[in-house]
Amino acid sequence: MEDAATAAASSAVVVEEERLDVLNKTGQKIGISKPRGEVHRDGDYHRAVHVWIYSESTQELLLQRRADCKDSWPGHWDISSAGHISAGDSSLVSAQRELQEELGISLPKDAFELIFIYLQECVINDGKFINNEFNDVYLVTTVDPIPLEAFTLQETEVSAVKYISYEEYRSFLVKEDPDYVPYDVDEQYGQLFEIIRKRYTENTVARSLSLQKQLCRYASVSLDAELTGLSNTDRKTLGLLIKAAKLMDEIFYLQVWYSNPALRDWLKEHASASELDKLKWMYYSINKSPWSCLDENEAFLTTTDSAIKLLPEATKPVSGWKGLEYKAAFPMLKPPGANFYPPDMDKKEFKLWNDSLTEKEQNDATGFFTVIKRHTEFSLDSSSPNHAVHGTNHLMTAHDLYNVPYSKEYNSFLRKAAELLHEAGDLAGSPSLKRLLHSKADAFLSNDYYESDLAWMELDSKLDVTIGPYETYEDAIFGYKATFEAFIGIRDDKATAQLKLFGDNLQFLEQNLPMDSAYKSKNVNAAPIRVIRLLYNAGDVKGPQTVAFNLPNDERIVKDRGTSMVMLKNVSEAKFKHILQPIADVCISKEQKGLVDFESFFTHTICHECCHGIGPHTITLPDGQKSTVRKELQELHSALEEAKADIVGLWALKFLINQDLLPRSLVKSMYVSFLAGCFRSVRFGLEEAHGKGQALQFNWMYEKEAFILHPDETFSVDFAKVEEAVESLSREILTIQAKGDKEAADLLLQKYCKMTRPLKHALEKLESVQVPVDIYPIFSTVNEIAE
């Protein structure tokens, strides 16, 4: 970054002064930019990057001595590298660029860990330089110090560099040593030193105990299903499908975060090094990331635990030194956009770009099957293992963002998966399975999933397969982008035949939904329901396991053909036995706990999935424009949709009972089983869509006195009040969805999606008696088939 004094000293050529985006006091862009000098003259809020290089082996930080010609803190020791984020530029790219320009170090984005954001407000130079600066503070962790002769210093910015113990550096700042740029280590900037201290003074025994406690929340359950009904050809087909499913794992790891595959490989390779390393790998295998699903996505690993990468070309060569080794970084806070968007992109930047696109381009940008990238990132970082030149999309335009279809972004994996599916399709005896596998293979390479999703809905085969990009929970920014997953099972023909009633009555349920008739669809299709016994799953199946799913999520197909449901009966049985029954024993009153049964639990699960297929999907906004609930509610959609399916599912059960389509013996047991299920799902955490939706429902029902807390801290259902409470919440959610009212959705979730006292009491009781939160499936038989 070049300031006015530097420019005058270094060149006679007139260079336009760097412009900075002006921010408000909360750090948001206000839509204007100004020259750097005017920003500091007027005290405008703006943004910059701080990059710290830390050497693990010596526990030292790299400092730079600011050039004597600088207009702020000349000749003082300061951050490894720092600079303003120029107008229109992004944070991470600016951090990479500053490190490259000032120190001659070129590092890929997975070397940079955003550890916190620091607001610096100060006035220097006799009031002539006002610095109101939001600083994105990055940490680059190297294994050893970088030799000083490996640096290429930018003379107009940096006069020298040195390594210093982080503790010694902190002491200089505490003493306000005049040779060092001041930072108040007792305030925000103290986080830097505290983060380093915690990482490198860990108690191994305490950490092992913590991981053991986290692991104990999952009950390991074998889900092997009977394979005797499969022919030899079916078994060969199954082996190919499992191999294809494992490729969905590879893609999903990458979708979560760009350094996630390297972390996985490193943890697996070192799992036998110690008991702690074994526990790290075991818990990582459940979560498929360094963030714990059951702990509001709190990180249970740090970059310290991550993979070491060697990058000789990062600096100029030094004789006898093999090159720079760094730790593949990941942030402590789970990125809301996963790896679907640039990590430093915000909603406003996306909206400005999206508004500049044609309607077709907008559909691609907000669609399920594209990732969003930066032109500037393309030029700086080509380190991704799946990096490829995606046509001409990367050419510079007025906006920094562009999109890449999944078929290109994950081409190396999808090409192999397509080959396996075509091979399996050639072997398949069932015509509908053959059609599904060939069409899905084609979709992997064309990025058009419409025909393959129709083929999936029409699948009629003993061997049941769901594979591809479907759910959008991982995209917490907008809820647009789909993750890859796979479910392979054996159809339970008897149970499937028994459930035809539900799929056949969707239009009947739609017409009687508790909402204004103007919002009801007149063209709800019957939903095929398949009951399977799960043999294998992969991809986005981290943490808590699903007991059923309703697909596809593509609103075009939902509108034209409806949806189809798959029930995982052996997963439901395992959850009832290991989790729901013990929850009922602890949390449900003595008089009602006997009403909790598997039939009610499984039947409500069916209705939950059915109710994803009814209610608002494609909607008309107040201005007459067509849209979808997903696009209008964005990141709030998943939680509200799960709550809708749950509570409307409960409403639907009572409606079908009133129509004499289901036995009246279900009435009390379904409500009490639902109450017990609330505690099961809330334990997933309030950052997870199902847990968030369940907290909303429980707190609403408790407020309406449909759920009662007794002095012994057990719960029961008030059967006189529960029906009205269910109907009122169903009406509230359905109306919000029908209007696409994001503000109302936000208010509803803010009010009811809380860990209230009754919920907290229940969860504490369950933890004290160590009831598992969920299951961890083991698929030993089919793993042998695929090998």
- pLDDT-derived band at 787 (thresholds 50, 70, 90) equals low
254 pLDDT higher than 60: yes
231 pLDDT higher than 90: no
The predicted pLDDT at position 378 comes to 66
Alpha-carbon distance of 67 to 368, in angstroms, equals 49
What average pLDDT does this structure show over 15-23?
87
Single-letter amino acid code for the residue at 531: V
DSSP of 654-675? HHHHHTTSS-TTHHHHHHHHHH
Alpha-carbon distance of 621 to 413, in angstroms, equals 40
What average pLDDT does this structure show over 216-222?
95
The predicted pLDDT at position 74 comes to 94
Higher confidence at residue 531 or residue 609? 531
Buried b (16+ CB within 10 A) or exposed e, 691-725: bbbbbbbbbbbbebebbbbeeeebbbbeeeebbeb
4 pLDDT higher than 50: no
Short-list 337, 380, 289, CA closest to 95? 380
What average pLDDT does this structure show over 293-321?
96
Cα distances (angstroms) measured from residue 351 to each of 93, 347, 363: 20, 6, 13
Higher confidence at residue 385 or residue 406? 406
Given a contact cutoff of 8 angstroms between Cβ atoms, the answer to whether 29 and 22 are in contact is yes
The predicted pLDDT at position 398 comes to 66
Over residues 340-363, the pLDDT tens digits come to 999 989 898 899 999 999 999 999
For 123-137, 481-495, 650-664, which range has the lowest pLDDT when averaged over its residues?
123-137
Single-letter amino acid code for the residue at 787: E
Over residues 727-777, the pLDDT tens digits come to 999 999 999 999 999 999 999 999 999 999 999 989 898 888 889 999 999
The predicted pLDDT at position 11 comes to 42
382 pLDDT higher than 90: no
Mean pLDDT, rounded, of the chain: 91
The predicted pLDDT at position 299 comes to 97
561 pLDDT higher than 60: yes
Q: Which two tokens stand for residue 131?
A: 């610095």
Per cent of the chain over pLDDT 90 is 77
Over residues 684-724, the pLDDT tens digits come to 888 777 888 899 999 999 999 999 999 999 999 999 999 99
Query: Any idea what DSSP says for residue 580?
Result: I
DSSP of 143-211? SSPPPGGG----TTTEEEEEEEEHHHHHHHHHTT-TTB----TTTTTHHHHHHHHHHHS--HHHHHHHH
What average pLDDT does this structure show over 433-439?
98
The predicted pLDDT at position 786 comes to 59
| Angle CA 415–420–423, to nearest 5 | 125
- pLDDT-derived band at 85 (thresholds 50, 70, 90) equals very high
Given a contact cutoff of 8 angstroms between Cβ atoms, the answer to whether 151 and 322 are in contact is no
Residue 450: other Cβ atoms inside 10 A: 15
The predicted pLDDT at position 51 comes to 98
Higher confidence at residue 88 or residue 542? 542
**Half-sphere exposure at residue 240, Cβ-oriented, CA atoms within 13 angstroms:** 22
Alpha-carbon distance of 268 to 261, in angstroms, equals 11
Per cent of the chain over pLDDT 70 is 95
- The neighbouring-strand residues paired with 55 are 60, 142
What average pLDDT does this structure show over 612-631?
90
Over residues 464-485, the pLDDT tens digits come to 999 999 999 999 999 999 999 9
The predicted pLDDT at position 501 comes to 85
Short-list 613, 465, 640, CA closest to 553? 613
Alpha-carbon distance of 268 to 360, in angstroms, equals 43
The predicted pLDDT at position 2 comes to 45
383 pLDDT higher than 70: no
The predicted pLDDT at position 379 comes to 62
664 pLDDT higher than 70: yes
Over residues 488-521, the pLDDT tens digits come to 999 999 888 878 888 789 899 999 999 999 999 8
Alpha-carbon distance of 57 to 678, in angstroms, equals 48
What average pLDDT does this structure show over 451-475?
96
The predicted pLDDT at position 122 comes to 85
Given a contact cutoff of 8 angstroms between Cβ atoms, the answer to whether 160 and 148 are in contact is no
10 pLDDT higher than 90: no
Q: What is the distance between the terminal CA atoms of the chain, rounded to a whole angstrom?
A: 55
* DSSP-H helix ranges across 61-132: 91-103
* DSSP-H helix ranges across 375-516: 375-380, 406-409, 411-427, 431-446, 450-457, 493-498, 500-504, 506-511
